[in-house]
Amino acid sequence: MIKVSVFERESEGLRLALARIASRPDVVFGSFDSPDVLIVSPESDDIPAAQCGSLLIPGNTAIRLPTTNNVVTYGFSPRDTLSLSSIGARTSMLELRREIVNALGEVVEIGEFAVAGGEPTRRLAVSGALLLLGISPETPTIGGDAAG
């Protein structure tokens, strides 16, 4: 079972969108003290967990980080792990700039993925979460309002 915590402001709906997209029996969303995957939304200003397996966080954040060996950043800085290399109204190219290890222990190699439209930073958060959960961000169900 993969325990996932999403830290966001109440009105963002990132957790609900991810729960719909990543609806698998081995993925459980909730408020865990030590989640396997901790997803921090672009609007968050604090992180409650003291430790986690993998951390997905905006690259421009200045908040304290929990204890983890696997930090994946998203944003538009050249230092971020995930970025968008081209942004279109309906699709964009998600750029994975370095290898990551997902929650299943699989290595995800550097590459690009066509992802559905939506607000760019939210699109990065959703796509990064899917990669960490072992789900392709190119999954057709990411479209519409799920990606934002």
Indicate the domain borders of the chain: 2-146
Amino acid at 35: P
* Most confident segment among 44-48, 49-53, 132-136: 132-136
Q: How confident is the model at residue 146 (pLDDT cuts 50, 70, 90)?
A: very low
pLDDT number for residue 144: 42
Residue 148 has pLDDT above 80, yes or no: no
Residue 142 has pLDDT above 70, yes or no: no
Contact (Cβ atoms closer than 8 angstroms) between residue 97 and residue 114: no
The set of residues, in sequence order, having a beta carbon less than 8 Å from that of 10 and lying 6+ positions away, is: none
Place of tokens 């057709």: 140
More confident residue, 51 or 49: 51
Beta bridge partners of 3: 28
- The total of other beta-carbon atoms located within 10 Å of residue 71's CB is 15
Rounded mean pLDDT, 20-48 = 86
* Lowest-confidence segment of 32-36, 61-65, 76-80 by average pLDDT: 61-65
Local structure of residue 35 (DSSP, 8 states): -
Alpha-carbon distance of 14 to 19, in angstroms, equals 9
Please write the tens of the pLDDT for every residue from 55-75. Answer: 999 998 766 677 788 999 999
Residue 111: HSE in the Cβ half-sphere, 13 Å Cα cutoff: 11
Residue 86 has pLDDT above 90, yes or no: no
